[in-house]
Amino acid sequence: MKEAAESIRAVVLAGVLIFALPAASLAAGSETLAQIEARGVLRCGVSEGIAGFSVPNASGRWTGMDADFCRAVAAAVLGDSDKVAFVPLRTSARFPALRTRRIDLLARNTTWTLLREGTLGVQFAGVLFYDAQAFMVWTKSSIRAASSLNGATVCVQRDTSSEGNLSTYAHANALELKPLVVTSVDALERAFLDGQCSAVTGDASLLGALQARAPGGASSVFILPERISREPLGPVVRDDDIAWLTVVRWVLFTLIAAEELGVTRANYEERMRDPRVARALVPDTAVTNMLGIKPGWTARALSSVGNYGEMFDRNLGTASPLQMKRGLNESWMRGGLMYAPPMQ
């Protein structure tokens, strides 16, 4: 009986320790957050320039969905959306920059995969944009379907999921495709414009951005209807700071949930007086204290950039030159995939 009691006590103790570990790590606060506060600026890794996601405008101010998300996080943790140092990164440099702490947050059209989380020491905070890989060709060509690309040279960017997807798609569909691998978005665009390849492949959102600035106008190029992969793009942090991951993740969820509740940058103060809205968008005080962040952080994020729908429309949708449709990035209430877990 004594041995049985000891065994039960050991099992109970082990269970308590298992559930206490995450809380203990949160109670310790975020090392990354402490460094950001001491520095007074959030260092955010972005692309070298992808319209609608992260690109400097004529005055040098970074614009786009990714840039706005960086600002929302800066507003949440520092109280000022302008306290962001944008670090433009090539595809090959994005994960090394995160691992070596050159940046605190990566928001750069990056696809969430098990391979990356399992081998690179990173964690994805969620999905900011649901994308898919596509092909783009010149309108003057006779190509109107991916099956017509047999024997064609296809431009693709190195160190992206697009490179592997292209090979997989060609093999699965018995197509002989000749990849021309380049190192950056600029090189991808130049190679296509110079006629080095018959088609270019990448995320459909990237191709849409390239289409919008095609020298002959958007109608001079054509994005083929096939989508050959799923590309959930999201912000990334190191995997050694769960409190920082939690903050970044719930900034994103706050922006998504706010749209569902009809809370905007203009009306959030009034709407926050609604108990249902407050329960959905205001974190428990104990959790906020454990994260080591100042109260009101979700409201600061929302007031800085607006809800998810406002961000999308401003950068990609009806209020932008790209005129992208919401599609999968619509709220779940309107047939899309954007959905936030409950806060309480």
**Tens digit of each residue's pLDDT (9 = 90 or more) over 320-342:** 999 999 999 999 999 999 999 99
Mark whether 38 and 172 lie in a shared domain: no
- The answer on 272 and 242 residing in a single domain is yes
Decide: residue 155, CB within 10 A, 0-12 exposed, 13-18 middle, 19+ buried: buried
Read off the pLDDT of residues 89-125 as tens digits, 9 standing for 90 and up.
999 999 999 999 999 999 999 999 999 999 999 999 9
**CA-closest candidate to residue 110, choices 251, 209, 236:** 236
22 within a domain of the structure (yes/no):
no
Do residue 168 and residue 314 come from a single domain? no
Q: Name the token pair of 167.
A: 């090979």
Number of domains in the chain: 2
pLDDT, mean over the chain: 91
Residue 257 lies inside a defined structural domain of this protein? yes
CATH code of the domain containing 308: 3.40.190.10
**What is the spatial distance between Cα 173 and Cα 193, in angstroms, rounded to a whole number?**
27
Q: Are residues 42 and 118 located together in one domain of the fold?
A: yes
- Given a contact cutoff of 8 angstroms between Cβ atoms, the answer to whether 183 and 92 are in contact is yes
Amino acid at 191: A
Q: Are residues 301 and 317 in the same domain?
A: yes
Q: Which residues contact 27 (CB under 8 A, 6 or more apart)?
A: 290
- pLDDT at position 172, please? 96
In a domain, 310, yes or no: yes
Q: Which domain holds residue 55?
A: 31-130+233-334
Answer whether residue 14 is part of any domain: no
C-alpha to C-alpha distance for 107 and 115, rounded to whole angstroms: 18
**246 within domain boundaries:** yes
Contact 280, 234 (CB under 8 A): no
Which of 229, 246, 279 corresponds to the end of one domain?
229
Q: Are 118 and 251 contained in the same domain?
A: yes
75, two tokens: 């507003």
Same domain, 250 and 329: yes
Q: Are 110 and 79 found together in one domain?
A: yes
The string of DSSP codes covering 234-301 is --EEETT-HHHHHHHHHHHHHHHHHHHHT--TTTHHHHTTSHHHHHHHS--HHHHHHHT--TTHHHHH
**Residue 28's pLDDT band (cuts 50, 70, 90):** low
Cα angle 295, 299, 305 (rounded to 5 degrees) comes to 140
Nearest alpha carbon to residue 69 among 343, 261, 307: 307
Q: Which of 189, 205, 229 lies at the terminal end of a domain, its last residue?
A: 229
302 with 218, same domain?
A: no
Q: Tell me the C-alpha distance between 154 and 228, whole Å.
A: 14
pLDDT band at 17 (very low <50, low <70, confident <90, very high): very low
What's the pLDDT tens digit per position in 282-291?
Answer: 999 999 999 9
Q: What confidence score (pLDDT) does residue 9 get?
A: 41
Nearest 5°: CA angle at 292, between 287 and 296? 70
C-alpha distance from residue 297 to each of 52, 68, 78 (Å): 25, 16, 9
Q: Which pLDDT does position 103 carry in this prediction?
A: 98
285 shares a domain with 155: no
Among 214, 229, 244, identify where a domain stops.
229
Q: Is 325 exposed, middle or buried (0-12, 13-18, 19+ CB in 10 A)?
A: exposed
Percent of the chain, pLDDT > 70?
92
Read off the pLDDT band of 224 (50, 70, 90).
very high
H/E element, 232: strand 231-233
306 located within any domain: yes
Examine residue 88 and state whether it is found in any structural domain, yes or no.
yes
Q: Are residues 252 and 315 in the same domain?
A: yes
- The answer to the question of residue 110 being in a domain is yes
Looking at the fold, whether 121 and 142 belong to one and the same domain comes out as no
